[in-house]
Amino acid sequence: MSSARGNAASPVNPGAMAKEVLVIKLSALGDFVLALGAMRAVREFHPSARITLLTTPPYEEFAKTCPYFDVVETDGRPEGLKATNALLSRLRKARYDIIYDFQTSGRTRNYYSVLSRSGKAPLWSGHHEKAAYFHDNPARATMHSIDRLAEQLEVAGLAPQGRWLGKGGPFPDLGWVRPKLGDPPRLSPAYFGIQKPYMLLIPGASEHREAKRWPIENYAELAKRIADLGITPVVIGGKAESAIAQELMKREPRVKSLVTRTDLFQIVTLAETAVFVVGNDTGPMHMATIAGAPGIALFALTESNPDHSAPRGPKTVIVNSAPTLKELSVDDVWQSVRALGIAPG
């Protein structure tokens, strides 16, 4: 794993002496979940600090429950000049000892540029050439999020013995969800009328990435084979997947739909007790595999580097045996189901 090491004269990270720390992570769901390992590393490195997360409204409840933050602010993408100036004024007055930019977008680069003009620049970890801890690896745009954030934290001095080796970096952990919430009934599959054994189908993808959706007829055939094994196929997703879920239930009546009915916590706990999960490259798929469900993630061969965005749970199989997802057959996916030891050989 190659990494540039930031500015030659980078100051010493305040570490345990820090009192005020800011973490910036605005979206999207998959990226937010993949950053949880890096967020935990920040919490452990600054044990006495008040750590603030700057994010956006969809992640407010999840972040406020997460044990890594003391304060959660959700105006990380202000609309209009007045709101932007208000945000920057607040960040300036907070006098953070160090800011970790895990979004590293043009927007957050601009935040640093403005803050650094107003006097003493804050200690900043991110992708800005004037930052104290500049992650300038030229390959960073094609790295998996976990690996990229590991290197970014290495530059800022957070890695044990100076480096995380291979893929042993700050891996996300969702084991805090159930204990933090007290394991209420709504976290059980029975709350939704779902009986074990069941599996999760995640047929969605970003609205602008239609090519990353496996055809609905393939999901329907897969659901039939799964139901024939006595395992209930359960579809999860957002509003955009409502029509897909309805069509799947029409084609295979044994399919159950929880589309639009699950929050982020319920996705985690449903995945914890699912037999396995099959899905496209989408945020809930990342959550499900990190939560521990054996996962089959669907990619096309035309993805030049599927590991760039692939789910990286402990028991995840990447299926990318066809040029496009439309050409990825049910048999290809079924072979991976067999490899998990679920279907008969």
**Domain map (residue ranges) of the chain:** 15-173, 180-340
Task: Check if 15-173 and 180-340 are the same fold.
Answer: yes
Task: State how far the alpha carbon of 331 is from the alpha carbons of 33, 221, 274, in Å.
Answer: 31, 10, 22
The predicted pLDDT at position 208 comes to: 57
Report yes or no: 85 and 37 within 8 Å, Cβ to Cβ: no
Task: State how far the alpha carbon of 237 is from the alpha carbons of 66, 160, 274, in Å.
Answer: 22, 38, 16
Q: State the average pLDDT for the chain.
A: 90
The dihedrals phi and psi of 301, each to the nearest 5 degrees, come to -60, -25
Query: What is the CATH class of 15-173?
Result: alpha beta
Q: Check whether 21 has a pLDDT greater than 60.
A: yes
Q: What is the mean pLDDT of residues 21-48?
A: 96
Q: What is the pTM of this model?
A: 0.92
Place of tokens 């601009």: 110
The predicted pLDDT at position 4 comes to: 44
Chain segment 289-331, per-residue pLDDT in tens:
999 999 999 987 665 455 556 778 778 888 887 788 888 999 9
Q: Check whether 258 has a pLDDT greater than 70.
A: yes
Cα 317 from Cα 275, distance rounded (Å) = 14
pLDDT band at 6 (very low <50, low <70, confident <90, very high): very low
pLDDT band at 182 (very low <50, low <70, confident <90, very high): very high
The CATH H-level superfamily of 180-340 is Glycogen Phosphorylase B; (3.40.50.2000)
1-5, 115-119, 122-126, 151-155: lowest mean pLDDT where? 1-5
